Amino acid sequence: MSADHDGGVSARSLRRSAGARLSRAGVASPERDVDELLASVLGLSLGQLPLAEEVSADQVARFEELLARREAREPLQHLLGTAAFRYVELEVGPGVFVPRPETELLAGWAVDQARAVEAEHGRGAVVVDLCTGSGAIARAVAHEVPSARVHAVELDPAALRWAARNLAETGVDLRQGDMGEAFDDLLGEVDVVVCNPPYIPLEAWESVAPEARDHDPHLALFSGADGLDAFRVLERRAARLLRPGGVVGAEHADAQGESAPAVFAGTGRWSQVRDHQDLAGRPRYVTARLAR
């Protein structure tokens, strides 16, 4: 790593050595994470970063602090303070589940369904986001379908505070409560229920990435022996919230491509129970339509 006379270093050598450190630490995308952190410290976009030549001593010190935390597997989004999600940027940090890129597909499904309601019925769709966490899905739907009436609920007080920040001035009706009891005032009136519930089996604790296991709220991760306890609650609640012909969509683990849809198919309340893959071809979310 070459230093200039003021104690700064070459941006290129800094990126190279930092990438090697994160790679040794087991970070899944070391080069990308390094670039995100360095761009943040330098006040540059990722596209501008290759133009950076020297990094001052003060900037190196700030970068080293962030790098050490990422090396310890603190989530990148906690260090940046934000997470991109579809067409919006969310504030995130300790106490809230960091939205994942694969959840953007489920949000996109909800957007499409809300638009379909507007096209077919000439009115704004009523959308409910259960287990809203950071407010990611609710924010995306409200942003992309302005006519939709979006409602969201979150149980955890810390996560609720992040959701309140992300949903401020969006028109989303945000409430604190349990997904299994939420929105009694909307029974039979909802067009779209969407949910990214906890779905990790308790026995899978050791297999969870440190970024999630050590930093995401456990309430947002684990859901009973088979990971489907929250799915069963969701199925019952969605059946009461939706109007006849309404739709529900929920994310699940890639190992639950058969068991998650079976929660819906086994009750006789649903038609068009389908599972959907993510961009890597892995089972990722299930959708179903309430029988008329």
Q: Do 52 and 92 lie in a common domain?
A: no
Q: Do 250 and 114 lie in a common domain?
A: yes
The overall average pLDDT reported for the chain is 87
pLDDT for the residue numbered 225: 58
Q: Do 248 and 123 lie in a common domain?
A: yes
Please indicate, yes or no, if residue 3 is contained in any of the structural domains: no
| Nearest-angstrom CA–CA distance, 99 and 90 | 9
Please indicate, yes or no, if residue 82 is contained in any of the structural domains: no
Q: Between these two residues, 1 and 104, which has the higher pLDDT value?
A: 104
Q: Do 167 and 55 lie in a common domain?
A: no
The tens digit of pLDDT for each residue in 232-284 reads: 889 999 999 999 999 999 999 888 889 889 999 989 999 999 999 998 999 99
pLDDT for the residue numbered 203: 53
pLDDT for the residue numbered 3: 43
Please indicate, yes or no, if residue 79 is contained in any of the structural domains: no
pLDDT for the residue numbered 78: 82
Q: Do 191 and 63 lie in a common domain?
A: no
* pTM for this prediction: 0.81
Contacts of 273 (CB under 8 A, 6+ apart): 261, 264, 265, 286, 287, 288
Q: Do 13 and 115 lie in a common domain?
A: no
Q: Do 68 and 91 lie in a common domain?
A: no
Please indicate, yes or no, if residue 162 is contained in any of the structural domains: yes
Residue 94 has pLDDT above 80, yes or no: yes
Residues of 45-64 as b/e, b for ≥16 C-beta within 10 angstroms? eeeebeebeebeeebbebbe
Q: Do 17 and 123 lie in a common domain?
A: no
Number of domains present in the structure of the chain:
2
CATH code for the domain of 112: 3.40.50.150
* Angle, in degrees to the nearest 10, between helices 136-144 and 157-167: 20
Q: Do 252 and 153 lie in a common domain?
A: yes
Residue 211 has pLDDT above 70, yes or no: no
Q: Which two tokens stand for residue 63?
A: 């970068």
Query: How confident is residue 71, by pLDDT bands cut at 50, 70 and 90?
Result: confident
Please indicate, yes or no, if residue 127 is contained in any of the structural domains: yes
Single-letter amino acid code for the residue at 274: R
- Domain end, chosen from 45, 72, 99, is at 72
Q: Which two tokens stand for residue 151?
A: 């409602």
Which domain covers residue 281, as residue numbers?
87-290
Query: Which residue in 264, 268, 244 sits closest to 252, CA to CA?
Result: 264
Please indicate, yes or no, if residue 174 is contained in any of the structural domains: yes
Q: Do 96 and 215 lie in a common domain?
A: yes
Q: Do 118 and 243 lie in a common domain?
A: yes
The tens digit of pLDDT for each residue in 32-66 reads: 889 989 988 898 888 888 888 888 988 999 898 89
Q: Do 134 and 176 lie in a common domain?
A: yes
